[in-house]
């Protein structure tokens, strides 16, 4: 059994099957608290999640956000992310365009594999937040590679 899928896979039938598999272990819950990422056409702060040998990485683009405006917590297999992007109001300033989302954003991501909650690192660089969650030993051992050219 393979647990990965390419996001660009063209075959809808396979897609449905993968979606079914996906929903079993990577249920994603996300909502906005206040403010609106949707101001810019996005419903909630988007995430990318991928797996490396020893860790799961979760990445979000959070331009303009400082480290103290981020709150992360890991409970079991769930990662919660809270992002503050305050609106800056200055007297004497007229806005001609205002596309950059402001407000408080909240996202909860269910991780695909068990992680060691004591070994979570987060790096904020050039407006990109990368959270590295070390897999548990059991999770590392569970990965089964299937050989073949498919």
What residue ranges bind another protein (CB under 8 A)?
4-7, 26, 28, 39-40, 46-51, 56, 59, 61-66, 92-101, 109, 112, 124, 126-128, 130
Residue 119 CB partners (closer than 8 Å, separation 6+) = 133, 134
Residues 105 and 102: their CA atoms lie apart, in Å, by: 9
105: exposed, middle or buried (C-beta count within 10 Å: 0-12, 13-18, 19+)? buried
Structure tokens given for 37? 């990422």
Q: Which C-beta is closer to another protein: that of 33 or that of 39?
A: 39
Q: Which is nearer to another protein, 5 or 103 (CB)?
A: 5
CB of 61 to another protein, least distance (A): 4
Provide, rounded to whole angstroms, the least separation between the CB of residue 55 and another protein: 12
CB of 93 to another protein, least distance (A): 5
Taking the least distance from each CB to another protein, the nearer of 20 and 96 is 96
d(CA 34, CA 17): 35
Whole-angstrom CA distances from 143 to 7, 26, 52, 81, 119 are: 20, 16, 11, 27, 20
Nearer to another protein, 15 or 100 (CB): 100
Residue 117 C-beta: closest distance to another protein, Å: 18
């Amino acid at each position: 059994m393979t647990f990965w899928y390419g996001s660009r896979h063209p075959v809808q039938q396979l897609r449905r099957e993968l979606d079914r598999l996906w929903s079993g272990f990577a249920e994603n819950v996300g909502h906005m608290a206040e403010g609106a990422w949707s101001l810019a056409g996005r419903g909630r702060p988007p995430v990318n999640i991928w797996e490396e040998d020893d860790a799961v990485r979760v990445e979000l683009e959070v331009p303009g956000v400082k480290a103290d405006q981020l709150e992360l917590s890991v409970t079991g297999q769930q990662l919660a992310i809270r992002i503050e992007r305050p609106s800056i109001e200055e007297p004497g300033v007229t806005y001609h365009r205002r596309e950059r989302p402001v407000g408080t954003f909240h996202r909860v991501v269910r991780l695909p594999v068990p992680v060691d909650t004591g070994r979570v690192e987060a790096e904020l660089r050039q407006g990109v937040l990368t959270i590295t969650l070390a897999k548990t030993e059991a999770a590392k051992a569970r990965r089964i590679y299937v050989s073949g050219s498919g």
